[in-house]
Amino acid sequence: MSENIEHVKCLIIGSGPAGYTAAIYASRADLKPVMYTGMLAGGQLTQTTDVENFPGYPNGIMGPEMMEDFRHQAHRLGTDIRFGYVSSVDFSSLPHKVVVDENKTILADTVIISTGASAKWLGLESEQKYSGFGVSACAVCDGFFFKGQDVAIVGAGDTAAEEATYLAKLCRKVYMIVRRDEFRASKAMVHRTLNTHNIEILYNTETKEILGDGQSVNGVSVFNNKTNEERDLDVTGFFVAIGHSPNTEIFKEWIDMDETGYIKTKPGSTQTNIEGVFCCGDAQDHIYRQAVTAAGTGCMAAIDAERYLAAKEHPVIA
């Protein structure tokens, strides 16, 4: 076989809690997994600071450090971890054909997709400057750090409304920045938001700039697009809840997805519509999007892959 073509039992595409957990379980099942990390090795958690809601870290841990722990564990158990990105796939026949970095072909008996999702941002320079230092795309992950403080959240859909009411239980005041004169959320979520006493909704309002002292957020500049009035909100936290984009574009030709690009898996499993292809983590989860739930589905994907291979090797004869 050409050195640019390699045959593997189990290929894991993408790192992060889902990918590394799949790698740990696949290694222990002797599937000799090969992982390609993607361009952001370790996934979204490498861009966060304190993680306090993952079991087993009683004092909390920095996101990048936690992903290093995951990586070391997967490597110690035998995962072949490689930095690189998948440039194309062909799932038309077995083994599955996956091209890495546009020049190396992997023939894989099973494929585990753990490419995750990326938060949508407003595109402000200050947003990236203070990401992890007062700016967050996950209220459930980071709301605890702003207990008793004033915060702002931008968004108008169900996720924004849900996160605003979640923050309202922890924070003194929540400013909700809504670009239009109405929500996009369901009536039930709008009702819940409107009836939460410490949420102030700013309609027809857009974020102009996130303000800070160079270390952390201390305010946000907004303007009303109807009155052209500008004002500064005195907040220490700024949450972006305008949606996520699953990193699944490359699989669109082959894998069944919902209208927003999240991969569909069969109920009670991580199996996709393609035989031998499994999906875990945020690439298929638009509801929970937590490190611990991603890790759980990573475990499921590896077990599903191992059982699939075992059944192929030792078919049950009726």
Catalytic residue positions, numbered: 138, 141-142
Torsion-angle region of residue 34: left (phi > 0), alpha (psi -120 to 50) or beta?
beta
CA distance 33 to 268: 23
Match 């026949």 to its residue by tokens: 93
Whether the CA torsion 129, 135, 263, 260 is positive or negative: it is: negative
Q: Are 164 and 199 in contact (CB under 8 A)?
A: yes
Q: Are 114 and 15 in contact (CB under 8 A)?
A: yes
Q: Which residues contact 84 (CB under 8 A, 6 or more apart)?
A: 36, 37, 100, 101, 104
CA distance 127 to 138: 14
Query: Amino acid identity, residue 157?
Result: G
CB-side neighbour CA atoms (13 Å) of 260: 14
DSSP symbol at 21 = H
CA distance 208 to 222: 5
Nearest 10 degrees: Cα torsion 126, 131, 133, 137: 120
Q: Which residues contact 250 (CB under 8 A, 6 or more apart)?
A: 86, 87, 88, 89
